[in-house]
Amino acid sequence: MTTIRDLLERGRTLSFEFFPPKTHEAQSKLRATVDLLEKAEPDFVSVTYGAGGTTRETTRETVLDFIEHRSFPAMPHLTCVGHSYAEVVDLIDDYRAHGVHNMLALAGDPPEDGSPNPGDFRYALELVKALRQHSDMSIGVAAFPEVHPRSPSRETDRRHLAEKLDAADFGITQFFFDPADYFAMMEDLAAIGCDTPVLPGVIPVINPASVRRFADMNGTAVDEGLWSRLEAAADADERLEIAVDATVRQIDELLEGGAPGIHIYTLNQADATVRICERIEIR
Ligand code: FAD
């Protein structure tokens, strides 16, 4: 049984995030991507979950396929939105029966039409507590270096985050570009007595338009200098090289500053992540 809790106690970790494929074609493409990324020997990977259970089956299939056929542990994400307590307990039992020992517990985003969340859980912390009660899984939670967009203030954001991290085993951040934001969050947490490890999440900007869209949704400041260089690139190869360079520099700074590992948002693509892993010294 490999838990991320144990891996982090042993040293720095390298992990990759994927989303579950929607079609057979996308499934084959993900397999080819993972064939390439497996060579970087990730300590674990994670698979996202559509809030409201929209990818309940595909997240499960992707995670179980990794567990059966790959050399690394796979961690499903799970969100509160729309789920009853009984549904969540069923899901936990099913994952445990299939050898899943790690879970990322998230709130998910509430329905866009403003209707109230129909589920039994509101905040991620409630999901963490249910997981603790019904399993011995290692539990991860989300962290936002630049403060969660729904938080009324930095102070309340950090307080709720510290409480959630205290109940969990580790955190993984939303992507960000300035290492100073990560270090400031870790200092804020330490100042209120929270020392749970938090893995910085980084994203190679291979698609500037869509990364900017996600960044706007999450209140993440984009590195305008990087965007200008990406927009001025002559072709996709040059853009890839610029994105890889920027991510490698960011990772080097994070590791030098004491980050307990690196989580890469792969967007189910191999090229950038393979090149990044060739250039970083994580172990
Ligand atoms: P919470 O920790 O519940 O926090 C949400 C907000 O509520 C924050 O503002 C917090 O300060 C506030 N809060 C917390 N507790 C309280 C309290 N007791 N009283 C008042 N306010 C409180 N989304 C998906 O749908 N699927 C995914 O697979 C997914 N994966 C993700 C992976 C990572 C690494 C990250 C960083 C995010 C991911 N998300 C995913 C996005 C996430 O679900 C959303 O950002 C969501 O809005 C917040 O989730 P959370 O778990 O941080 O929520």
Residue pLDDT, tens place only, 12-37: 999 999 999 999 999 999 999 999 99
Q: 77 C-alpha to center of ligand 1: Å? A: 12
The yes-or-no answer on residue 17 being catalytic is: yes
Reported as a single tens digit per residue, the pLDDT across 100-133 is 999 999 999 877 777 766 789 999 999 999 999 9
Q: Is 99 left (phi over 0), alpha (psi -120 to 50) or beta?
A: left
Closest residue by CA, ligand 1 atom 4: 123
Kindly list the structural domains of the chain, giving each domain's residue range(s) and its CATH number in brackets, ordered by start: 4-279 (3.20.20.220)
C-beta 51 within 6 A of ligand 1: yes
Q: Of 71, 72, 57, give the one whose Cα is nearest residue 27.
A: 57
pTM: 0.98
Q: C-alpha distances in angstroms, 52 versus 56, 77, 109, 150, 257?
A: 9, 12, 9, 19, 37
